[in-house]
Amino acid sequence: MDFRGIIIEESLEDKRILKNLNIFRTQVEKVTSEHNTPWLKKWTLHSIDVKEDRAMETAERIAMAIDSKHQNSWYVDYRNSEYHFIIFKKKIFVVDLSKKEEYNDVKKYAFKLGILEEQLDFE
């Protein structure tokens, strides 16, 4: 079963990865103070489909492409009905959705990076 998610273009240091993703919708949104990204005035949200057989490979490529300068602010995620990939700079979590407690490790890691709880709305 394929995965769906969103990737914020401005979260990427290497935007070439976008050429290899199946983007089915793009929206540009104004950034507010609530987003905790004061270096940005807007961001570009790409809704993506990821083939099941390429989910890990895609996650590995995204993990390397995330912005190093602001890596403590970003993650990318995509899910299907069974698994949820949550991708940080050089770190990938795959949560089995039948085991919600697996999100605890993701949150601990994100908090260590300084990502605010309100930005961790993936459950």
How many structural domains is the chain composed of? 1
Overall residue count recorded for the chain in this entry:
123
pTM, entire model? 0.89
- Grouping H, G, I as helix, E, B as strand and the rest as coil, residue 81 is coil
Cα–Cα distance measured from residue 20 to residue 87, given in angstroms and rounded to the nearest whole number: 17
Single-letter amino acid, residue 66: I
On whether the CB atoms of residues 109 and 91 are closer than 8 A, the answer is yes
DSSP 16: G
Query: How big is the chain by its Cα radius of gyration, in Å?
Result: 14
pLDDT tens-digit profile of 53-97?
999 999 999 999 998 886 567 899 999 999 999 999 989 999 999
CA 18 from chain centre, in angstroms, equals 13
Range of the domain at 56: 3-119
